[in-house]
Amino acid sequence: MTSKRGIFITLEGGEGAGKTTQIQRLKNKLESAGKKVVTTREPGGSAGAEAIRKLLVEGDTHRWDPMTEAMLLYAARRDHVEKSVAPALARGEWVISDRFYDSSTAYQGYGQGLSLSILDELRKLSIGDLKPDVTFILDLPVEVGLKRAAVEQRYERMGIPFHEKLRQGFLAIAKAEPARVKLVDANQPVEAVETAIWKIIQETL
């Protein structure tokens, strides 16, 4: 296919890692450089996916078994891709998503023990071969992130050992796909994280 395609960037990491903060800064920088930028988030990012989001971020921590949760996430993700991400990319715009499928791999796979190959099958079934052009994993000690995170919703309440598994999962994801996934030390001042991300953008895109 030779149709014009935009650039797809995702930010990943635990709660309070600084994803939302950095996405706003990256958006500003890209817009200053004359790019058209769409920011979005998961779970959510489209009307249908935002409705599913409520089922995921609210309520009892054990309300879903991991497979049900993964299917809800991928149902939301498919809608998000179809309604928001793919159309923007087709228009040639830059899309920055606050979380994408690496979060399902980290949370439901490494965190909750669901088979990584099942998650990969679900991914292909739901969104085909769509992959981010570059993914930033904002890494920092669990306690630092949870201290930064203001709201205490369902995922935040899952406990330190769970969030430790999550962190190790994200590190494994970065190691497995070094061409796409870039690890960023998020335990430094906002400006330093911003500079690290911008440097990688300039080097890779």
Answer whether 175's CB lies under 8 Å from 34's CB.
no
For residue 159, give every residue at least 6 positions away whose Cβ sits within 8 Å of its Cβ, in sequence order, or none. Answer: none
Helices 66-80 and 47-57, packing angle to 10 deg? 160
Interface positions, 9-38, toward Mg ion (CB under 5 A):
19-20
Residue type, 180: R
Q: How many residues sit in the footprint of ligand ADP (CB under 6 A)?
A: 14
CB of 170 to ligand ADP, least distance (A): 12
CB of 71 to ligand ADP, least distance (A): 24
Q: Which is nearer to ligand ADP, 125 or 190 (CB)?
A: 190
Selection from Mg ion, ligand ADP, none that 193 binds (CB < 5 to 8 A by kind) is ligand ADP
Q: Which is nearer to ligand ADP, 142 or 193 (CB)?
A: 193
CB of 12 to Mg ion, least distance (A): 11
Interface positions, 140-179, toward ligand ADP (CB under 6 A):
148-150
For residue 95, which of 20, 23, 143 has the smallest C-alpha distance? 23
Among all residues, whose Cβ is closest to Mg ion? 20
Residue 111's SS3 state is helix
For residue 17, give every residue at least 6 positions away whose Cβ sits within 8 Å of its Cβ, in sequence order, or none. Answer: 138, 139, 140, 145, 148, 186
What is the contact surface with Mg ion in residues (CB under 5 A)? Answer: 19-20
What is the contact surface with ligand ADP in residues (CB under 6 A)? Answer: 13, 15-21, 148-150, 189-190, 193
